[in-house]
Homo-oligomer: A and B are copies of this chain.
Amino acid sequence: MEQHVLTMQDALARLDEYWTGRGCLKVQPMNTEVGAGTLNPATFLRVLGPEPWRVAYVEPSVRPDDSRYGENPNRIQCHTQYQVILKPEPGDPQQLYLGSLEALGIDVRAHDVRFVEDNWASPALGAWGLGWEVWLDGLEITQFTYFQQAGGVNLDPVAVELTYGVERILMALQGVRHFKDIAYADGVTYGEVFGQAEYEMSRYYLDDADVAANRTLLELYTAEAQRMIDERLPVPAYSYVLKCSQTFNVLDARGAVSTAERAAAFARMRRLAAGVAQLWMQRRAELGHPLGVVATPEPAQAAGLPVEANDGPRRFVLEVGTEEMAPAEAASAREQLDRLVTDALAGTRLTHGPVAVYATPRRLVAVVEAVAGREEDHTRLVRGPKVAAAFDAAGAPTAAAAGFARANGVAVEELERVDVGGTEHLALRRHEPGRSAVVALTEALGGTVAALRSAKNMRWSDPQLAFTRPIRWLLALWGDQVVPLRVSTLAAGRTTWVLRTADHPAVTVDSAEALLDQLAAAGIVLDQARRREAIVAAATDLAASAGGTVDVDGEAALIDQVTYLVEAPTPLLGRFDPGYLDLPEAVLATVMRKHQRYLPVRDASGTLQPCFIAIANGPVDVAQVRAGNEAVLRARYEDAAFFHRADLGVPPATMRDRLAKLTFTDKLGSMLERADRVADLAGTLAEVSQPTPDDRRVLDRARSLVKFDLGSQMVTELTSLTGLMAREYALAAGEPQPVATALFEAELPRHTGDALPTTLPGALLSLADRLDVLTGLAATVGLPTGSSDPFALRRAALGLLAVHRRHPALAGLALSEGLRHAADRQPVDVTPQRLAEIGQFLTGRLEQVLTEEGEPVDRIRAVLVHADRPGRVDAILAQLHKLIDRPEFRRLAETIQRARRIVPAGTGIAYDVAALTEPAEVALHGVLVRTRQAAAGVADLEQFTDATTDLSVAVAEFFDQVFVMSDDPAVRAARLGLLAGVAELGGSILAWDQLRI
């Protein structure tokens, strides 16, 4: 067997051979430490500017933070990247990439190779791109990116960057479980060659690097980089930028970077990188672009439209072929295309049947049934000048009339007269013959494809289009005729592309009616609903075969996602070692769902079973793909087990100290500072809620540990387990159950629909957390506007409101007070103005929540006077529901509303009693005095109603018998004052005006 193993050095040689055979230069790794192949100037500098560039190289990538002394099977401080840059992107980079896997001996037909959305950004370099992580049977083996920006410069042309994770690929190909066991060359393992260096460099990065020395290095490197930019030498400047980056990473791994330093260092590196990038482009231009300039692709040539008449009706299909879209984007694009096509058809006079639009990761297909062969003929009335202005006194046509006739190519005599809204106009009746379906569709749909947009759009080699991923082909057929759409460089035809691994990936489609069958014949389930059903059915069967079930409702979101990850679903059942079931269930399920998109299998009682369902794409070799996915899950669980063991060895308090190394935001300090603020704030908030001594003890202990699990390896890896791991590790460390619960609940709710804290300590911590985040971010980043909410402040606000409403003990806590306390603890100034805005933001969210809960708008508005105490809103609203149909309440409301309508704004409630003379007004004065006394301090709506029983009658009699607007100003003022007293009643309980009675 030995000689048949593809060794690591052989694999690298094969990649070299493959890519140099495809026009890539082979260059050497950077001769200063870099964290990734992207940093090599052969990428960072060469993706800039108009010159073509194809390159391949190995890059030993140093990540001090990944140092593990060689102990972790999958984590290496210096891992090997194989990097390829194709500039301009060649139009078929995915196909080229698959060829490279075949060069490595991977049968891409047997395996499940998938392109799963993964975008990339390096803030320090001002660089980002969109693309995928490539999965081989569930294992991420390559980062595939359409590079969009570097050094803050938009890239034109766009380059494709492929970054292979060499050790991971080799571990998979060789079936080894620890990187040290990789066969590096015949008879020599990776560990034998690199093991000592891995250990020693880990020691340096984690334990032994001199912090002061590295700090000085960072300063020196920064200064040299800037000097070289000033000297207009981008190459040495960039090499110093790289040294800055590495040194920063060393300091970071040593835990020596304060928040302020990190922010400053990143800003400096970003500035330097931008300087280098601009300078490089200038210098290349000055050198006359030695490698030439990439030509802009030509637009597709417009085809002549067919002139013959069409029989009809026939089906119309429009297929937009893309590279793999993310699930949410595919779903959104489907809806957009539906609307766009429907609108476009409405702009024609073609009769047609239903419009259906389908989406897979790689295509959007609009299907319109029964589209007529021709538009109806049509007569259109073109309105001209008014007749009154069309002829002069002599009855001769004026210039206006003559002009209109001339513009329409007729004589004035040919114009007729029509009545438009009662005025007579000259007009021309123009007969317009219907266009053929092909012509009409071509003209109508011309802008449709270019109009598609996603949340984040990218550029590729097309000079005009921008979309979530490249659009690679168009198919448009009406019946058996091509509808010759032209969209930038693309021309619609009758070719579709089925699975890449098909024997004949390009398929000629005879007619619109045949498309769906031809796709189905290629295994593609076009209709997302049917695809989902197929997945659910097969998954349920597979689970049953293992004696379990899939929680189809509970996993609905995941199933939705999976539905858009495949075109030709091939569900399969995999298993894992039951020993891993000792890990926390949340860990197991999270790894399956979030990382691997596997469906967990449970038994009747809901207990996790040692198996999973993966959904492969296309007709793969199930046994191989299963084995691959099982190996990936095993490695992930092995990692998790490693983290779990490591974490259990660290006391929570110690773990919490690590938060000092985690930045919250540049301006708001470290996570430790944030946790301290939350703890402190929760203590203050507790005073209002009057906790029991037990609760107070639990709260104080939980405060001292809150957020400690952010310092665990498990949460570092699996962020979504925040809180869950806190509970787990707190219990393991011997903390009482209530403390563990409070630590968990501090993170609730984590998302819409999530559980809320059930205990007061948990609620107080949760509230404090959200108050902190809202005040801090509102003061530094600002409140969310439009669709942008990068820090999820809306979610924080909703959580805050939900927690407040859930806990009666918190009813007395005014949010404005909480915000003020939170603001006092921020490291930045939070102005009263800003606090008021946050209050309005919260009120807005509360109104929205109540609306979504189905409350009538008028009642919501009426109770929002209590928005500062959301719990009270609920209470008053509940009373309102009870009272609203009672006559006495309705009368009361009408009475107050009537008084408010009459009393001008600004009228004082003081009045001269002596001026009141009429019996009814004197009586009202008496009732009012009594009522005010009875209602004073009443906050309960029901009590208030009871306390005002006499008022309605008294007011009614007043209006019957007294004319308020007396000519005598003194009298009038007194009467209005009397009514103002009525209007003012209950104003702190309800916004009476808002009620629709």
Contact = CB atoms under 8 A, between A and B. Distances in A.
Given A185-B20, A210-B227, A193 B27 contact: yes
Nearest to A205: B236
A153 B333 CA distance: 69
A419 interface: no
Interface in A248-292: 283-284, 287, 290-291
B32 A13 contact: no
Contacts of A186: 23
Interface stretch (A89-97, A215-223, A646-654): A215-223
A30 B60 CA distance: 9
A200 B20 contact: no
A481 to B, nearest CB: 44
Interface in A177-206: 184-186, 188, 191-193, 195-197, 200-201, 203-204
Interface string A227-247: 110010111100000000000
Contacts of A34: 31
A201 B16 contact: no
21 contacts: A10-B20, A13-B16, A16-B16, A28-B28, A28-B60, A29-B31, A30-B31, A31-B60, A31-B62, A41-B197, A195-B290, A197-B235, A200-B233, A200-B235, A201-B235, A208-B233, A208-B236, A209-B224, A210-B223, A210-B227, A213-B223
Nearest to A230: B208
A25 interface: yes
A375 interface: no
Given A235-B197, A236-B208, A213 B224 contact: yes
A227 B200 contact: no
A87 to B, nearest CB: 14
Contacts of A33: 31-32
A185 B19 CA distance: 12
Contact of A9 (B25, B204, B223): B25
A12 interface: yes
A58 interface: yes
A41 to B, nearest CB: 8
B188 A25 contact: yes
A541 interface: no
A638 interface: no
Interface in A829-877: none
Given A9-B26, A196-B284, A208-B231, 9 more contacts: A12-B26, A13-B13, A25-B184, A28-B28, A192-B291, A195-B290, A196-B287, A203-B233, A216-B216
A17 interface: yes
Nearest to A186: B23
Interface in A15-58: 16-17, 20, 23, 25-34, 41, 58
A20 B13 contact: yes
A200 B233 CA distance: 6
Interface residues of A, number: 58
Contacts of A291: 188, 192
Nearest to A13: B16
A35 to B, nearest CB: 11
A287 B198 CA distance: 14
Contacts of A62: 31
Interface of A is mostly: helix
Contacts of A233: 200, 203-204, 208
A817 to B, nearest CB: 53
Contacts of A204: 228, 233, 236
B200 A25 contact: no
B25 A185 contact: yes
Nearest to A61: B31
B192 A210 contact: no
A897 B889 CA distance: 157
Contact of A192 (B17, B203, B290): B290
A201 B236 contact: yes
Given A224-B210, A231-B208, A32 B31 contact: yes
A132 B648 CA distance: 60
Contacts of A197: 41, 235
A33 B186 CA distance: 29
Interface in A284-323: 284, 287, 290-291
Contacts of A191: 290
A28 B58 contact: yes
A115 to B, nearest CB: 29
Interface string A62-82: 100000000000000000100
- The 9 residue pairs across chains A and B that have the minimum distance between CB atoms: A200-B235, A204-B236, A9-B26, A200-B233, A197-B235, A192-B290, A25-B185, A213-B220, A31-B33
A283 B41 CA distance: 36
Contacts of A10: 20
B29 A28 contact: yes
Nearest to A185: B25
B29 A32 contact: no
A204 to B, nearest CB: 4
A31 B28 contact: no
Interface string A790-801: 000000000000
A236 B203 contact: yes
Contacts of A23: 186
A43 B35 CA distance: 24
Contacts of A29: 28-29, 31
Contacts of A290: 191-192, 195-196
A988 B6 CA distance: 90
A608 to B, nearest CB: 41
Contacts of A188: 25, 291
A291 B184 CA distance: 13
A786 to B, nearest CB: 44
